[in-house]
Amino acid sequence: MLMHMRTTINLPDGLAEEAKRKARESGRTFTSLVIEGLRQVLKAADITGAVERLPAHGNPSDRPLIDISDRDALASALDADGPR
């Protein structure tokens, strides 16, 4: 059995009008357009979930590992393991 949840979302007027126009032009419903958009965003979030860790230098107990305000030190730390 297919279950559906009825919900209300608040969209800016311009966005809602543009989405309804796009749905009409493509012969679809507004709901199907929203469903496809949400699925794309959720799928992209799964793909981009892996974040590359910055290299760690120093002792975290007595000072920050990387001073991001020091441009040269940051570049040096990022390049420490060679080009990518």
Q: Please write the tens of the pLDDT for every residue from 7-62.
A: 898 989 999 999 999 999 999 999 999 999 999 988 886 666 566 676 666 665 66
Report the distance separating Cα 61 and Cα 80, nearest Å. Answer: 22
Q: Does 2 reside within a domain? A: no
Report the distance separating Cα 36 and Cα 42, nearest Å. Answer: 10
Q: Does 77 reside within a domain? A: yes
Q: Does 6 reside within a domain? A: no
Q: Does 78 reside within a domain? A: yes
For residue 63, give its domain range: 53-84
- Could you tell me the pTM of the whole model? 0.50
Q: Does 5 reside within a domain? A: no
Q: Domain tally for the chain?
A: 2
My answer on whether 68 and 83 are in the same domain is: yes
